[in-house]
Amino acid sequence: MEEFNVENGILNGEYLFYHPNGNLSIKSNYVKGRMHGEETFYYPSGAMQQKHTYVNQVIQGEEIHYYEGGQIKSKSIFENGKSDNYVGYDLLGNIISQTFVKDRLRINQVIKNGKVFSENISSTYDDYEAMKFYNDDGSLKCHLRMIEDNEVPIIIELDENGNEKKRINTKENPQEALNYMQLLMN
């Protein structure tokens, strides 16, 4: 079931959508057919699932997702509909992943036991992409880049300073390339 207001054929005002059990599923607001204001999603149990705010149809500000028990699952900050700032949490409130931009690089981190396990790094202005894997003590285990050379995937291993240590042509050395790919699987 849903409840809404239409003026001149356009949604205007509060919009409510309900789960089959009768509990509220979505609550949002429209101004002249455009989402504007807070939008909230709920689990069938009635617990809040997610909330964020729209300004003239564009998501803006903080978005929070919740576990059904009320703990925060993730937080994102949106600016003009785009988020470069995300933090994911486990049920106990420990950070398990985060995304941020630093020095024009978008960094997506996976965190295990309170330490950075891996990073996926991409440029905000060109096609640069890399992966970093870390040891339990926080030291760099492996730093990799994937590029294409004449349509052949090439794996480049880099040192701590980002300088090339080793280059593997995946077509000529598939077994060696597979050793690096196993890092991605763990």
What CATH number is given to the structural domain containing 24? 2.20.110.10
Task: Indicate the residue among 56, 84, 112 that finishes a domain.
Answer: 84
- For 160-177, b where at least 16 C-beta lie within 10 A, e where not — what string? eeeeeeeebebeeeeeeb
In a domain, 183, yes or no: yes
Determine contact, residues 93/72, Cβ cutoff 8 Å. Answer: yes
Q: Same domain for 99 and 55?
A: no
Task: Identify the band that residue 132 occupies on the pLDDT scale cut at 50, 70 and 90.
Answer: very high
In a domain, 89, yes or no: no
What residues have CB less than 8 Å from 51, skipping those under 6 apart? 38, 39, 40, 41, 63, 64
Q: Same domain for 117 and 154?
A: yes
Q: Same domain for 58 and 100?
A: no
Q: Same domain for 14 and 35?
A: yes
Decide: helix, strand or coil at residue 177.
helix
The total number of structural domains that make up the chain: 2
Q: Same domain for 79 and 114?
A: no
In a domain, 117, yes or no: yes
Smallest CA-to-CA distance from 131 within 114, 155, 112, 103 is with 155
Q: Same domain for 55 and 136?
A: no
pTM: 0.81
> What are 2-43's pLDDT values in tens digits?
999 999 999 999 999 999 999 999 999 999 999 999 999 999
**Can you name the residues that pair with 117 across neighbouring β-strands?**
none
How many other CB atoms are found less than 10 A from the CB of residue 143?
21
Determine contact, residues 71/89, Cβ cutoff 8 Å. Answer: yes
Q: Same domain for 113 and 53?
A: no
Domain region containing 149: 94-186
With residues binned 3-state (H G I as helix, E B as strand, rest as coil), the percentages for the chain, rounded to 5, are 5, 60, 30
Task: Identify the band that residue 184 occupies on the pLDDT scale cut at 50, 70 and 90.
Answer: low
**Can you name the residues that pair with 135 across neighbouring β-strands?**
none
